[in-house]
Chains A and B, each alone.
Chain A
């Protein structure tokens, strides 16, 4: 039987395609192969145009010039970052260095995808300067993430609203109980009793709920997870106090906030409740507050230091290490990757980096820099930094956080009592953490 050439060609094409589709990417990472570790691929998280412009057009060329290496930088938006990383790891094409938020670190560690960072190679002065930042990037005592910025959620408030309500705008409350009292005076209702201006507005959107709760429970002296035991710790008196407070802000005749579930954290500055006048006090990320202040210069805003609950030792705020860089365990350019990370956390470089998007510097010494001292928001944030509490670095945290979020939502919407919500939340989280080890 004579098989036509065309058919043989088609069969070969099919076979090749099938083989290509069936093969797995394996664990071999070709990145850097043949480049003699003089080539580095880096994925940065986010889509901030000013940041990416600075990194690509200024910082990377400087690094390349000083090292003789070449760096390929790609910015990946957060919504797709985890998906692309997972696919890249499975295919063996993950970048040498990549950025992500702290919440993702532990899962990468438990799957042996990260190279520990040799922070002991840093000068002692630098390690001291990074004291507030480093813990958020550690898992089981090892450093895996090098934060490039600090992050913190602080209470920003409208000073004019304070004055109008008979409150001292320069002496905001220092306890959550005092805040509630102030919020009652700041809350405005229409003729029907509907709140038209929230006195105190905390985030109640997805993820925002967990961050708000994290702030409150830490301020009550509690915690979310025992990272050593991989077990939740929020079903506690402090957790109950925090959640009761959180729920009461939005429910009942003495509610001081409205808009359950509505997202505002990521809104443009002009659409922020503080700017629109629909809230007098809101919990926001530092860089968001920065943008608000810049966008509404005619308004007078202040930033509170983290309040505490009465009886607690000190106040706290969700925050700590922000997004940073990690090294792929399969990279063939690990040394170069570490050099790049060290470059990015250099005092001058880091300040230029965070300044591009109004972020908070990672170094404590930056508190004396003109960039910080010129900004009341950043000055307040740097002062509050020691009170920032990061996400717990445990495997499965993303899913655990979402489980928490769902139960918090039930409590906020009064579908479950706070006690039941905490109990269910603990069971959900413990189950996830157990399965993730």
Chain B
């Protein structure tokens, strides 16, 4: 038999796990267990609950009802309205937050005396809990609160923004914008500092104005950061609860009843956990969808 007729057959050797591999797995196990137990399992259990009728007061635990909860949501005017309110809230807060935070980031991206203090002051709202911020703004909006005192001082009548159907959601949104500016500013500032100076220098050499540099250098350079910020803000804002709970309790006339607030009342005031869970997963689907659409729109990617 000639050598040309021989064909080399590769020998596949089974990869042998070493003690090092097992040690690594052992070290990762607690973190994995934590994620599984406290994140993945609750989500899956919640998904299961969404297919049941479950009142914790009732003996016997959850009762399987299939898609009943989801079908009910399709016909629920209350849930539909809460989706609209949530969408309105996001649309009120998100653009204002992005624009103002970007402006602030550009402002604090240049050196000047007291820059540290300014940055810290702008970031401060972010480290105060949303509930505490809401309590403070509740006072500021009250009849004898800061805003009405200022209005009175300049001869204008007092306003009852939180009890007016047409202004309550905007009032909550204003507070939320104020709360969100700091964190978004920091993220955008980091994005700004990641843009190479050479691009600005090149643009300057080409005779670009400040505005042109902002539009053609800054914004494109910020695109990855903005994608992240928009996605995260949509996720957080769509789950707004604390500010609604403190400021308006879903009123007046249901004008501030967000999905999360409706979930809260359905689950914890009426003990209808199955329906509440279904609402949560429908909200998740909406949030995921809109986040994806928004981030693709900003990033310019096509599906």
Q: Footprint of B on A, CB under 8 Å?
A: 1, 3-4, 6-7, 10-11, 13-14, 17-18, 21, 24, 27, 82-83, 85-87, 89-90, 107-108, 111-113, 194, 206, 259-262, 398-399, 402, 406, 409-410, 413, 415
Q: A111-B58, A398-B270 are in contact. List 8 more A-B contacts (CB 8 A).
A: A7-B26, A10-B33, A14-B32, A89-B57, A113-B57, A259-B160, A261-B251, A399-B269
Contact between A406 and B163 (Cβ–Cβ < 8 Å)? no
In the complex the two chains form, is B41's CB within 8 Å of A21's CB?
yes
Does residue B295 face the partner (Cβ distance < 8 Å to A)? no
List chain A residues, Cβ under 8 A from B165.
413
Cβ contact within 8 Å between A262 and B29: no
Chain B contacts of A113 at CB under 8 A?
A: 57
What are 15 of the A-B contact pairs (CB < 8 Å)? A6-B22, A7-B25, A13-B30, A14-B29, A82-B268, A82-B271, A90-B56, A108-B57, A112-B59, A206-B249, A259-B163, A260-B163, A402-B265, A409-B252, A410-B253
Residue ranges of B at the interface with A (Cβ–Cβ < 8 Å) = 17, 19, 22-23, 25-27, 29-30, 32-33, 36-37, 41, 55-59, 61, 143, 157, 160, 163, 165, 249, 251-254, 265, 268-271
| A-B interface contact total, Cβ < 8 Å | 89
Is the CB–CB distance between A4 and B57 below 8 Å?
no
Which one of A10, A18, A27, A83 lies within 8 Å of B26 (CB-CB)?
Answer: A10
Q: CB-CB < 8 A to B25: which residues of A?
A: 7
User: Do A14 and B57 touch across chains, with their CB atoms under 8 A apart?
Assistant: no
Report A-chain residues with C-beta under 8 Å of the C-beta of B59.
27, 111-112
CB B275 to nearest CB in A, in angstroms, measures 11
**Which residue of chain A is the closest to B157 with respect to CB atoms?**
A194
Q: How far is the CA of A14 from the CA of B59 in the complex (A)?
A: 29
**8 Å CB contact of B41 from A18, A85, A111:** A18
Residue of A whose beta carbon sits closest to that of B265? A402
Contact B22 A261, beta carbon cutoff 8 Å? no
By a CB distance below 8 angstroms, the chain A residues around B157 are 194
A27: chain B residues within 8 A (beta carbon) = 59
Nearest A-chain residue to B30, judged by Cβ: A10
The residue from B37, B57, B249, B254 contacting A86, defined by CB atoms under 8 A apart: B57
Given A14-B29, A261-B251: A3 and B22 within 8 A (CB)? yes
Check A17/B56 contact, CB under 8 A, given A7-B26, A261-B163, A402-B269.
no
A49 vs chain B, min Cβ distance (A): 20
* Complex interface: chain A residues within 8 A of B29 (CB): 7, 10-11, 13-14
Q: Are B253 and A415 in contact (CB under 8 A)?
A: yes
A15–B298 CA distance with the chains assembled, in angstroms: 44
CA distance A18 to B25 in the complex (A): 18
**What residue of chain B has the Cβ atom nearest to residue A108's Cβ?**
B57
Measured between beta carbons, the chain A residues less than 8 angstroms from B160 are 259, 262
Q: Give the CA-CA distance A112 to B157 in the complex, in Å.
A: 54
When chains A and B are docked, how far (Å) is the Cα of A399 from the Cα of B265? 9
For residue B271, which residues in chain A have a CB less than 8 angstroms away from its CB?
82, 86, 107
Q: Give Cα A262 to B55, complex, Å.
A: 33
Contact B22 A4 (CB under 8 A): yes
CA A18 to CA B37, docked complex, whole Å: 6
Residue of B nearest to A17 (CB): B37
Contact B22 A399 (CB under 8 A): no
Kindly state the separation between the CA atoms of A156 and B92 in the bound complex, as whole angstroms.
43
Q: How far is the CB of B225 from chain A (nearest CB, A)?
A: 37
* Interface pair A409/B249, CB less than 8 Å apart: no
